[in-house]
Amino acid sequence: MAMNWVERLENQYERAGRREGRKEGKREGRIEGIRQVLLRLLALRFGPLPDAVRRRVEEISSVARLNRLAEKVVVAGSLEEMGLG
């Protein structure tokens, strides 16, 4: 049976919604992965992290900001220099 125009339109919106959902899921997964690497690097560099620092990192949702912090771990002498202390 052929689809009418309403069914075709609904189908199109459903596919677009799934694509958008996958895209958002990938972005969230990427952010979470970078966060986990950053937290691991911070702990390796500065020792056990205070809960407040963990929370601050977990609140960051910018890939660029997370990446900048991960790069800064290499040269920073303290969590304060990282802007997290």
Is residue 60's pLDDT more than 90?
A: yes
Q: pTM to 2 decimals?
A: 0.75
Domain that holds residue 72: 5-82
Say if residue 28 is exposed, middle or buried (CB neighbours under 10 Å; 0-12, 13-18, 19+): exposed
- What are the tens digits of pLDDT across the range 9-58? 778 878 877 888 787 888 898 999 999 999 999 999 999 999 999 999 99
Domain count, the chain: 1
Count CB-CB contacts under 10 A for residue 42: 23
